[in-house]
Structure 1
Amino acid sequence: MEKQVQDLKHQLEKQCLINQELQRQNKDLEQRLREKDRLLQELHSQYHDLECPSLSSSEGEPEFRKSRAAVFAPEPIHEAVEISRNKVKKTVSETSLIVKAIQKNDFLSRLDDEQIAMMVDLLKASQCKPGEEVISEGSEGDSMYIVAGGELIVTQAGRDLRTLTKGDVFGELAILYNCKRTATVRAKTLVHLWCMERQTYRTIITNKSKKKREQLMGFLKTSHTLKDLNDMQLSKIIDSMEEVKFQDQEVIVREGTEGNTFYIILKGEVLVTKNVNGHQKMIRRMGKGEHFGEQALIREILRTATCTADGPVTCFSIDKEVFEETIPVEHLELFDDSKVMQEAQAPEKSSLSSSLKFKDLVPVFYQEGRHQGDPVTLGVGGFGRVQLMTTITHGKYYAMKRVSKKQIVAKRQEEHMLFEKKILKAIQCDFIVKLYAAFKDTRYIYMVMEFCGGGEIWTKLKEVGRFDETVTVFCTACVVEAFAYLHKKSIMYRDLKPENLMLDMRGYIKLVDFGFAKELMRGEKTYSFVGTPEYMAPEIIKNQGHDFAVDFWSLGILIFELLVGSPPFSSSEPHKIYTKILDGVLKYPPYMSEASKSIISKLCRPRPGQRLGNTKNGIKDIRHHRWFSNMNWHKLRMGQLDAPTVRLIRKGPSYINFDQFPQDHTKADEELSGWDRDF
């Protein structure tokens, strides 16, 4: 008996040693997993701007988007770049080479003749010796290049991809925004290049767009029919106009035919003739800035003369139907904007809670899983992370956004950060996340916001693949209400996507992240290159100047992505996304309803002035579209509807509806410049 007890004792001791060893191995494994998570997170934050939606697997059945969308923060434009001083003379053959290179490039071929001419003037010459690197993979770029002579090798991760020779263009994405180079380009022989920096390119395009707009505004003000319209209304007309070209001797309007189009001459001359006893009698010759056909916009008339192009002619035109959508003809004026402006400037009760103290906030910890015991992180972005907090008394949950001040300064986002706080502080809308308090220290700024326990729409979409129409209609209606509120306050949002839509526990949608929002007076334009590639409106890509219409474009893209699981314009290469957006061809899967296709196509019209929501009735036109026929807008605003999104929300710990993230043990450097003294 004693021997058996002794044997049992030895076995227990042996088992204890085995258990201890297993525990040690488990701890070691957990440590390695944490390290792996940390490295993955670092890689994710370094390369989040390279992640793109997957391409369609087959016609009509797009794959679901698996990665978060990249974003591009607005970069200041230096207005006073001396263009004329930087001109570089080129020979006829050099000019020809550059023009051909631009014309065969997917993106640059969209530039007009004047913009191409300015690019030709401002491209600078440079030379590289054999073996010298022009572009290094992973580095940040600000220049594009055209090969004038010689050969270069393109490599990625050490593998040869292709050879560049005379007339090839490379690095062109860098003239749009500050992007990481995806490949290395090295000179194989002695190489001659033409190059241009982003700031020069953006100045060319922006200045050209501004001058053209000012010019068109001046032309419109000389019209008798439009003379009583204000700048905001004239700006809307410009947004709805299309550029049209006519060949020599082509008849633009013919006497006696029904008139429905108004023309402004941008380039060339037009002959005006009238039929007198069977012969065409010349009445006058019109040139740049003059216009004809204005009466056709406001009454049913027949053309009283024939207008013919004398040489090549470029006009800006608007049809009666489009004009009537833009300006109510019976009054020739839009709504009284002064009331909106007064409301926008009226002081509001602040949503910031003065009683909430930073020292009272404590983190919530994961209760299970491999991150058990770590503080809960609700989301991680390029600028920081959002943590789940509660108070010492555990009265309420909060989402606290923590952002590195050093990174804000490095990315020149100080103004946007201050503006985000200003907007959220003033907002009182049930469809926009509330800001309760804001704090700062030497390393971070902190924004304590309403916690939306249902999680991100992006996460839910990823889980189910795509939403049914009922859920999509409800989500979109909540966004429409948020936009109506913001636009009335003269604020455009500019970063709509599933990642920025949160669900509260009732299933109602709230808009978050106002880092790209901007205040804009009606009739004004802004020229930043900003947003998420798949959601960018054509006018942002073209640097033509944009306004509130970009939000309506992104609303159309959002509806498509929620219904399909992937946005309509996607590619693994950003420049291909931009090309698809500018081409504007929407391919709908067979299961999509006619009403869905209708609202998407009307929101995603290439001309901003023709978009649903941006014509004379404003956002009402969106609410009245048949896709929303079952939506009770009043009950939605009052929070009285049962949200169909509730079925997407899981029950469990407070963080159950969020992806889990490892703890961040790094500490940001101190930043003491004082930009945040008023934060």
Structure 2
Amino acid sequence: MGVCCSEPVNFDGEVDLYHFDLHRAVGKGAFGKVRVVEHKRSKNLYALKYIDKARCIKQKAVANIVQERRLLEEIDHPFIVNLRYAFQDDENCFFVLDLMLGGDLRFHLERRGRLEEEYVRLWAAELSSALDYLRKQRIIHRDLKPDNILLDAEGHAHITDFNVAIHYSERRLHTSVAGSMAYMAPEILARQGYTWPVDWWSLGVVLWELLFHRRPFDGRNSERMTQAILNDSLKFPPNLSEYCSDTARDFVAGLLEKNPKLRLGCRSRSRGIDDIHSHPWFTGIDWVSLDAKGIQPGFVPDVKKANFDVSHELDEFLMVEKPLTHSKRKVNPDLEKMKPELRQLEEQFTIYDFTADKRMSYYPHNQPITTANHHEDSEVVTVLQSTTNTMLPTTTTMIDRSTAGSPMPDERAQPSMSLDIHDPKRMSIRQSV
């Protein structure tokens, strides 16, 4: 379905929805949908994620929408779904992102079962490259899972959905609980304070699930799952050789080390990514060629087929919800008369155009308030036990993941969340086992 506008478009002015032709819906999130769009001048295809302002305000999610918008402006990496444009109209905020036509890994897991080690190995290398980049940008994703890993048309893996991502500091440990429980690192659930190594744990859970078509730690309720992640040892399948090689097993086990100081890729700032590059599982990988997408994936999705739930457009066809249309903004809105949340969106969800604007960092300045010995190198570092720049628990207990970039499952896996896992009144997340 396409919606076109016949009025002339001012391509020299600020980017807005009139710069794009709207095509089919390919995903659905908490506050809107994701659809394919075509830039009218360049003819490039992108994914448009749009956020309904009223729904966003009702669910008290303005702060993390603004935070996602700012974090995405900082990021530009071959294995991340990158932001290309950002803008808003009176009803919606818009993210225009790289288009991923290959679907997400949850989609392929559900249709193929476990995936061949050859495929998983390359994706693991690509995701490792992306996570190391995020670490250097001082960003923790906090919600790495198959649903948030998208394939492009050639089969390369990309991280998406920065809905609960945050900055970190060497002087600060975070304590808020955010993400999807089955993929959370032990230090998050134990409330010990955490930083970037939690993403490498999540990568370990993802790789385990891709290789064995199940998760390493499961439970029928949140309490049992928490205890499993904190206390249970890894139990590989008895017929392991039928699933993967010994080097793959060693790599995944290294990521699923409960002590973040000993976790593969996190053992110190002096080794870090070198441990990943030198691991026997990645023998023969040219990392320069990898980052240039010069290594051909073994799994290439069939982009002639829909690698997503094809029902996303039915709501509009059945008039269940209002379809997205081009609309002119009110001229010179009076910010003083706006509700605080709308004003925050107006002022902080700013326009971005990758063809004209340089990417900038919003990295916060942190004030030290205490000290702790956090690193294995035995130096004393200053730490702030922080809940700033994080998503705090709300009465709804749940922050639905946004579907940035490409087709994603709708209600098939655990949504992203920020909650108190020990408060039963706040635990309304559906477990996916």
Q: Which residue of 2 aligns with 1:207?
A: none
CA displacement, residues 127-158 of structure 1 (integer Å, 9 cap, x when unaligned): xxxxxxxxxxxxxxxxxxxxxxxxxxxxxxxx
Kept after mapping to 1: 8 A contact 2:265/2:276:
yes
| 1:615 pairs with 2:279 | no
CA displacement, residues 468-495 of structure 1 (integer Å, 9 cap, x when unaligned): 1110011111111111111001111111
Q: What are the equivalent positions in structure 2 for 1:249-648 lying under 5 Å apart? A: 356-364=15-23, 376-392=24-40, 395-589=43-237, 590=239, 591=242, 592-616=244-268, 617-646=271-300
Q: Which residue of 2 aligns with 1:163?
A: none
Q: Which residue of 1 aligns with 2:429?
A: none
Paired with 1:362 and 1:397, the residues of 2 have a C-alpha distance of: 9
Paired residue secondary structure (1:582): helix
How far is the alpha carbon of 1:570 from its aligned partner?
2.0
Q: Which runs of 5+ in 1 are unaligned?
A: 1-352, 365-375
Paired with 1:536 and 1:620, the residues of 2 have a C-alpha distance of: 24
Q: Which residue of 2 aligns with 1:311?
A: none
Paired with 1:357 and 1:642, the residues of 2 have a C-alpha distance of: 36
Match of 1:659 among 309, 317, 322: 309
How far is the alpha carbon of 1:392 from its aligned partner?
4.3
Give the structure-2-normalised TM-score.
0.67
How far is the alpha carbon of 1:575 from its aligned partner?
2.3
Pair 1:625–1:383, CA change in 2 (3 A):
farther
Name the aligned partner's letter for residue 613 of structure 1.
G
Pair 1:572–1:384, CA change in 2 (3 A):
farther
How far is the alpha carbon of 1:504 from its aligned partner?
1.2
How far is the alpha carbon of 1:553 from its aligned partner?
0.7
Paired with 2:126 and 2:13, the residues of 1 have a C-alpha distance of: 29
Name the aligned partner's letter for residue 226 of structure 2.
Y
Name the aligned partner's letter for residue 228 of structure 2.
K
Name the aligned partner's letter for residue 79 of structure 2.
F
Kept after mapping to 1: 8 A contact 2:15/2:87:
no
Name the aligned partner's letter for residue 676 of structure 1.
L
Paired with 2:181 and 2:78, the residues of 1 have a C-alpha distance of: 28
Paired with 2:194 and 2:59, the residues of 1 have a C-alpha distance of: 22
Q: Which residue of 2 aligns with 1:349?
A: none
How far is the alpha carbon of 1:526 from its aligned partner?
0.7
Paired with 1:562 and 1:551, the residues of 2 have a C-alpha distance of: 16
Equivalent pairs, count: 311
Paired with 1:434 and 1:387, the residues of 2 have a C-alpha distance of: 16
Q: What are the equivalent positions in structure 2 for 1:225-240 lying under 5 Å apart? A: none
Kept after mapping to 1: 8 A contact 2:81/2:97:
yes
Of Structure 1 and Structure 2, which has the larger fraction of its residues in strand?
A: 1
Paired with 1:482 and 1:429, the residues of 2 have a C-alpha distance of: 7
How far is the alpha carbon of 1:356 from its aligned partner?
4.3
Kept after mapping to 2: 8 A contact 1:599/1:627:
yes
Pair 1:384–1:578, CA change in 2 (3 A):
farther
Q: Which residue of 2 aligns with 1:144?
A: none
Kept after mapping to 2: 8 A contact 1:354/1:437:
no
Identity %: 29
Paired residue secondary structure (2:172): coil
How far is the alpha carbon of 1:391 from its aligned partner?
3.5
Paired residue secondary structure (2:122): helix
Name the aligned partner's letter for residue 644 of structure 1.
G
Q: Which residue of 2 aligns with 1:172?
A: none
Paired residue secondary structure (1:399): strand
Name the aligned partner's letter for residue 19 of structure 2.
D
Which structure: larger Rg?
1
Paired with 1:593 and 1:434, the residues of 2 have a C-alpha distance of: 33
Kept after mapping to 2: 8 A contact 1:540/1:546:
yes
Paired with 1:642 and 1:491, the residues of 2 have a C-alpha distance of: 28
Q: Which residue of 1 aligns with 2:345?
A: 676
CA displacement, residues 435-475 of structure 1 (integer Å, 9 cap, x when unaligned): 12112233321111111111112211211101111100111
Paired residue secondary structure (1:470): helix
Q: Which residue of 2 aligns with 1:191?
A: none
Q: Which residue of 2 aligns with 1:193?
A: none
Kept after mapping to 2: 8 A contact 1:377/1:663:
no
How far is the alpha carbon of 1:394 from its aligned partner?
8.2
Name the aligned partner's letter for residue 633 of structure 1.
W
Pair 1:393–1:354, CA change in 2 (3 A):
closer
How far is the alpha carbon of 1:523 from its aligned partner?
4.0
Of Structure 1 and Structure 2, which has the larger fraction of its residues in helix?
A: 1
Q: What are the equivalent positions in structure 2 for 1:3-152 lying under 5 Å apart? A: none
Name the aligned partner's letter for residue 452 of structure 1.
M
How far is the alpha carbon of 1:618 from its aligned partner?
1.0
Paired residue secondary structure (1:476): helix
Q: Which runs of 5+ in 2 are unaligned?
A: 1-11, 324-337, 350-433
Kept after mapping to 1: 8 A contact 2:100/2:150:
yes
CA displacement, residues 630-662 of structure 1 (integer Å, 9 cap, x when unaligned): 32212101221111121xx11426xx2222122
Paired with 2:13 and 2:98, the residues of 1 have a C-alpha distance of: 15
Pair 1:411–1:584, CA change in 2 (3 A):
farther
Kept after mapping to 2: 8 A contact 1:506/1:643:
yes
CA displacement, residues 544-599 of structure 1 (integer Å, 9 cap, x when unaligned): 11101101111111110110122211234232221211123211122343222211
Paired residue secondary structure (1:401): strand
Paired with 1:642 and 1:358, the residues of 2 have a C-alpha distance of: 35
Q: What are the equivalent positions in structure 2 for 1:167-178 lying under 5 Å apart? A: none
How far is the alpha carbon of 1:410 from its aligned partner?
3.6
Kept after mapping to 1: 8 A contact 2:153/2:303:
no
Paired residue secondary structure (1:407): helix
Paired with 2:273 and 2:66, the residues of 1 have a C-alpha distance of: 28
Pair 1:476–1:354, CA change in 2 (3 A):
farther
Q: Which residue of 2 aligns with 1:277?
A: none
Paired with 2:181 and 2:164, the residues of 1 have a C-alpha distance of: 14
Kept after mapping to 2: 8 A contact 1:468/1:563:
yes
Kept after mapping to 1: 8 A contact 2:104/2:147:
yes
